[in-house]
Amino acid sequence: MREESEEKRRPNFSAEFIKDLCERLKVTFVLEGLGKPSKRIIGPEIIFNYAYAVFHSPGYRERYAEFLRTGFPRLPLTSDYTLFKKLAAFGAELVDLHARNQADGSAISFPIKGSNEIEEVRYQPPQTHGNDRHSGRVWINKQQYFEGIAPLVWNFPIGGYQPAERWLKDRKGRTLSYEDKETYMRIVAALAETRRLMSEIEKTIHEHHGWPKAFK
């Protein structure tokens, strides 16, 4: 988003893009930070957050799937300032999850002591009946597992693979340290929260006339 120089940082947006965005939203652009959105003053960070949210919209990914396979993503712009601010807020949450590792993995547990060695990676769907009830387990060997991982999180795809599975399979044969276990719990929590935010983003777009009307 930014280019570095010896003097100061500057946003890497074209003048045409900024002019179009400001005219659509009836805002003033400043070169640093978020700006003052309540006063219709916006900076490069809030624009980035808006873009990040739009690119995580399931409707965007479906609508432009063919184009995304062959080129760079194009950012649809809205003329609805309320929608812009709501999407930017969701985008800021996603940035915190993905770039600042702020996911809370406390809902995931690793309850059984053992070798901590990844011998296999196997998912066990939630069990709601009987004595062994649980909300979804990922086994790493015959004795040990992570618990609290819903099917939708386990199957959540990014870039053609499932991160909740891939992260562990890439470490097969390795003994997980305390930090490794904490990292995996945060990854799973981030996937769950990403999925929730994507749903909220799509819901918000539909509340503002949906695709493509919200971006005219």
Instruction: Give the sign of the dihedral formed by CA 22, CA 88, CA 76, CA 187.
Output: positive
Q: In this predicted model, what pLDDT tens digit does every residue of 155-173 receive, in sequence order?
A: 999 878 899 999 999 999 9
Q: Are 90 and 53 in contact (CB under 8 A)?
A: yes
Instruction: Give pLDDT tens digits for 168-202.
Output: 999 999 999 999 999 999 999 999 999 999 999 99
Cα(120)–Cα(50) distance, rounded to whole angstroms? 40
Beta-carbon contacts of 20 under 8 Å, excluding residues fewer than 6 positions away, are: 77
Query: What is the 3 state secondary structure string of the chain?
Result: CEECCCCCCEECCCHHHHHHHHHHHCCEECCCCCEEHHHCEECHHHHHHHHHHHHCCHHHHHHCHHHHHHCCCCCCCCCCHHHHHHHHHHHHHHHHHHHCCCCCCCCCECCCCCCCECCCCEEECCECCCCCCECCEEECCCCCEEECCCHHHHCCCECCECHHHHHHHCCCCCECCHHHHHHHHHHHHHHHHHHHHHHHHHHHHHHCCCCCHHHC
Q: What is the pLDDT of residue 6?
A: 45
What sign does the CA torsion over 59, 63, 67, 69 have?
Answer: positive
Amino acid (1-letter code) at residue 149: I
pLDDT digits (tens, 9 = 90+) for 31-69: 999 999 999 999 999 999 999 999 999 999 888 887 777
Q: How confident is the model at residue 71 (pLDDT cuts 50, 70, 90)?
A: confident
Percent over 90 (pLDDT), the chain: 80
